[in-house]
Amino acid sequence: MIACNLHTHTTHSDGICNADEVLLRALDKGFKTLGFSDHSHTPWYADGSLPKKLDDYVEEVYSLAEQYSGQIEVVCGIENEFDSWQEDKRLQYRIGSRHCLPAEDGPFVIDESPEQLEEGIKRYYGGDGMTLVKDYYSKYPSDAITYRPEIIGHFDLIRKFNKANRFFQEESPAYKRFALEAAEAVGETGAIFEVNTGSIARHRRRIFFPANFLLRFFLEKRYPVMISSDAHDPALLDGAFSEAVARLESIGFKSVVVWKNGGFREIGIRDLLL
Ligand SMILES: [Zn+2]
Ligand SMILES: [Zn+2]
């Protein structure tokens, strides 16, 4: 059994399977709770193919929740782009994420390809990756305070294409300072930080978002964390969960947050994978 995964995508946004296929796979894999979190409608992201019809999405998730009640707890969430935020009373949780930064000639997507990132750094940041980093992290405090997401998705996604420090030095004091200042402002709102296993599960970079120094900071500050896989393919619903548990345990975490019986609960980290 796996207690919970609240970060998953379906064909309502850029996932590859329908919600019912995702649900059946979650049942197969022994999940107790499955949260759907398709992207908010963001015209400039993922070809704009994101839930234009929020009603259809919400109704389908609620109907699955009813149909499978007693077998698996189904929760209706959203991955909300900070710059195209959607609200609806029926959404049970919001993952606040940033995949784009505002720019003069329209939003600049940071997680599409290394080429696009490189081009954006040249065009909008004078070729300086650290200026991009500063801009990226500087948005978080006001985003978190304005929108109050329950969960922060892949806090340091800006690292996605930074293999071998291609665009900026992740070990530099400047990088860490920008990230830690943002983390503290966000953490003080009470938001849960997601430990996103997607990059490892998809065999991209062998990194979790967030990096270890941030995880250590969350532990020190007692900010809550939650493990999720950001699965666009239901085969990866539980991708790298056990690695994430091992990583968090090695840092010293004793508990993680899950969704259970209609709300967020803290459970012992070992109980995530019972
Ligand atoms: Zn995301
Ligand atoms: Zn996602």
Task: Tell me, in angstroms, the distance from the centre of ligand 2 to residue 39's CA.
Answer: 7
- The band of 134, judged by pLDDT with boundaries at 50, 70 and 90, is very high
Ligand index nearest the alpha carbon of residue 236: 2
Residue 46: pLDDT band by 50, 70, 90 thresholds? low
Q: What is the pLDDT of residue 44?
A: 76
> What is the average pLDDT score of the chain?
95
Residue 115, pLDDT score? 97
Å from CA of 219 to ligand 2 middle: 24
pLDDT band at 106 (very low <50, low <70, confident <90, very high): confident
Contact yes or no for 170/209 (Cβ under 8 A): no
Q: What is the pLDDT of residue 187?
A: 98
Superfamily of domain 2-273: Metal-dependent hydrolases (3.20.20.140)
Write down the pLDDT at residue 230.
Answer: 96
Q: Which residue has the higher pLDDT, 199 or 138?
A: 138
| Other residues' Cβ atoms within 10 Å of the Cβ of residue 66 | 8
Ligand 2 centre to CA of 166 (Å) is 24
Amino acid at 226: M
Highest mean pLDDT among 9-13, 50-54, 104-108, 265-269: 265-269
Q: How confident is the model at residue 202 (pLDDT cuts 50, 70, 90)?
A: confident
pLDDT confidence band for 48 (50 / 70 / 90): low
Whether residue 242 has pLDDT greater than 60: yes
Percent of the chain with pLDDT over 70: 97
pTM over 0.85: yes
8 CA distance to ligand 1 middle (Å): 10
Ligand whose nearest atom lies closest to the CA of 13: 2
Q: Which residues pair with 71 in a beta bridge?
A: none
* Pair 268, 254: CB distance under 8 Å: yes
Break the chain into its structural domains and give their ranges.
Answer: 2-273
Whole-number Å distance, alpha carbon 177 to ligand 2 midpoint, is 26
Q: What is the pLDDT of residue 267?
A: 98
The predicted model gives 35-50 an average pLDDT of 79
Q: What's residue 73's pLDDT?
A: 98
What is the tens place of the pLDDT at every residue in 1-39?
999 999 999 999 999 999 999 999 999 999 999 999 999
Asked if residue 51 has pLDDT above 90, the reply is no
Residue 274 CA to ligand 1 center (angstroms) comes to: 27
Taking the centre of ligand 2 as the mean of its atom positions, its distance from the CA of residue 26, in whole angstroms, is 17
3-state secondary structure the chain: CEEEECCECCCCCCCCCCHHHHHHHHHHHCEEEEEECCECCCCCCHHHCCCCCHHHHHHHHHHHHHHCCCCCEEEEEEEEECCCCCCCCCCCEEEEECCEECCCCCCEECCCCHHHHHHHHHHHHCCCHHHHHHHHHHCHHHHHHHHCCCEECCCCHHHCCCHHHCCCCCCCHHHHHHHHHHHHHHHCCCCEEEEECHHHHCCCCCCCECCHHHHHHHHHHCCCEEEECCECCHHHCCCCHHHHHHHHHHHCCCEEEEEECCEEEEEEHHHHHC
* Ligand 2 centroid – CA 196 distance (Å): 9
What residues have their beta carbon closer than 5 A to ion ligand 2? Answer: 79, 230
